[in-house]
Amino acid sequence: MEEIATTIPSVTEAVVGLDVSINNVWLLVATFLVMFMQPGFAMVEAGFTRAKNTGNILMKNFMDYAIGSVSYWLIGYSIMYGTGNALFGDFSMAFFNPGEDSYGAGYSDFSDIMFQTVFAATSATIVSGAMAERTKFNAYLVFSLVITVLIYPVSGHWTWGGGWLSKMGFIDFAGSTIVHSVGGWIGLAGAMILGPRLGKYVDGKAKAIPGHNLTIGALGVFILWFGWFGFNPGSELSATGGSTSNIAKVALTTNLAAAGGAIAAMLTAWARYKRPTLSLSLNGALAGLVAITAGCAAVSPLGALAIGVIAGIVLVFSVEFIDQTLKIDDPVGAISVHGVCGALGTLLVGVFATDGGVLYGGGFKQLGVQTVGVVSIGLWAFATGFILFKVLKATNGLRVSKRIEEEGLDVYEHGEGVYN
């Protein structure tokens, strides 16, 4: 009996240790998938813009990740997850190095900061697409730093860091609003202050400026779709126990929403413009992915498909409205994909969530909470982005000269071209 009694604790420790190991491996695999989304964004933005600016686009996406990795580790993570108060985390986790790893959440603290770092970099890289082909590179480096150090971590603290929105019951499982719409609304502020590209609006009418390589753009979307299986299922933060089935469900809802968004955007564009356009179909898939990210763990597969379809339809009209009515030049559709569809998907959690959603008898309470979260985070991101860009415009300058824009940013900003 004594031997059995001494064996039981060792077996328990072994099982717990195995759980931690599995969770760590899964979280790191998900991290690597989300990191791979960076080249996905780079390919989409490069393909949707002109050849003379390809190197500039690639450089911005490359440095987003490099700068974001250092700045988020340095202080952004602490502002987001430090104890602090309901509005702002403290600096207790600055220069993050926990020493003795606690494994308190069932996985390594180092795995956690790696996973959170790639999310922060994603939020920053969204902005580059909305402001493509006319932004100074040195100005871009500054606001990429500010996004990962301050803007994204503060609203992230409100939600994932235990702040006031999380206490209200706001649901954004993997970041439709927290990550994507933050990038989208900052991009909107930047595009408004920059103004349109030369030749974009002639006699008050929008003129199409085609991207130079939709093959690269399509490859980027496939990469992003693949990487999203780390973004959403990885946000479960565990791969043991009940989390195993949750990961599988989240993967399914993510995939259905992406497919629904692509099909809906294709059919909507076909009906409206008499052609099933590739560019809008690609963005439709991204719209579905962005929209489902908030509720991928809270909705049924049918609900996920519905969210994707709605996002795909809205995407087409949003791109047209922003481009032709508001006359805001967004070369890759980032504002519509990430800002509009990120907010839309977060709101639809209040409708389609199987626990608390309007369609499942939960009333409008959750929808109200979702609205508060979407509006407050949207206002924070847009206002801080607007102030930041105004300061940069008045000091360093934000836009390149007319000659540089006409001849291409690659040679003038970086001293080399991608296509020689």
Give the model's pLDDT for residue 204: 87
C-alpha separations of 277 from 67, 112, 265, 268, 292 in Å: 35, 40, 9, 10, 23
Enter the DSSP assignment of 72. Answer: I
Give the model's pLDDT for residue 80: 97
Give the model's pLDDT for residue 270: 98
The number of angstroms, rounded, from the C-alpha of 374 to the middle of its chain's C-alpha atoms is 14
DSSP annotation string for 353-391: BTTT-GGGT-TTHHHHHHHHHHHHHHHHHHHHHHHHHHH
Give the model's pLDDT for residue 12: 57
* 245, 256 Cβ separation under 8 angstroms: no
C-alpha separations of 355 from 181, 253, 359 in Å: 24, 16, 10
> b/e per residue, 403-412, with b = 16+ CB within 10 A?
ebbeebbbeb
Alpha carbon distance 339, 345 (integer Å): 10
DSSP annotation string for 244-308: HHHHHHHHHHHHHHHHHHHHHHHHHHHHHHSS--HHHHHHHHHHHHHHHTTTTTTB-HHHHHHHH
Question: Which backbone phi and psi does 128 adopt, to 5 degrees?
Answer: -60, -35
C-alpha separations of 51 from 5, 54, 86, 335, 413 in Å: 71, 5, 46, 22, 14
Helix axes 301-320, 243-273, angle to 10 degrees: 40
Q: Which residues pair with 353 in a beta bridge?
A: 299
Its pTM stands at 0.95
C-alpha separations of 64 from 39, 47, 142, 146 in Å: 11, 18, 10, 11
The number of angstroms, rounded, from the C-alpha of 28 to the middle of its chain's C-alpha atoms is 18
> Which token pair is 283?
């963005």
Give the model's pLDDT for residue 100: 65
- What domains, with CATH codes, occur in the chain? 10-55+163-414 (1.10.3430.10)
**Which residue ranges in the chain fall short of pLDDT 70?**
1-16, 99-100, 102-104
